Amino acid sequence: MLKLKFRRLHRKVVSSVNPASIINCLFQEEVIGPDDMRALHRIRDDPQQQCNELLALLHTSANPQTFVHLYLAIKREACLQWLVEDIDKYTDQSVISLLQQLDISESTGYYCSQAGKCKQSSKVKVKRR
């Protein structure tokens, strides 16, 4: 669920978080490896791009604790308490609602109308409200 919350708040995270301390924390917790850390540190002249790259990397991670560690790293930053509150505002139900707005099951190739009727499609249709 945290992964979906971070995806929903992506723009706020990228524009607000100083990725340097977050990167070091995630490296310490073994969420990112040394090669990823070095690559991210090479982008240090553009913190928003650095944060964008970090989030993209985290979204591809197979580590189930990735976003828990990201949340904890952000929570340690006193100036980001407002962001922690925004993350906490998205309850599990609101994330479920976000998923339902897509009206899609990508794994089966079926899409569903608002009436709840599902059809298979050769082209997966995403319907956003």
In the numeric block, which tokens belong to residue 15? 């524009």
For the chain, domain boundaries: 2-90, 94-129
pTM: 0.68
Pairing of strands 104-105, 110-112: antiparallel
pLDDT tens column, 94-122 = 545 545 555 444 444 444 444 444 444 44
pLDDT tens column, 19-64 = 988 999 999 999 999 999 999 999 989 999 999 999 999 999 988 8
Q: Name which of 11, 12, 32 is nearest 23 in CA terms.
A: 32
CATH architecture of 2-90: Orthogonal Bundle (1.10)
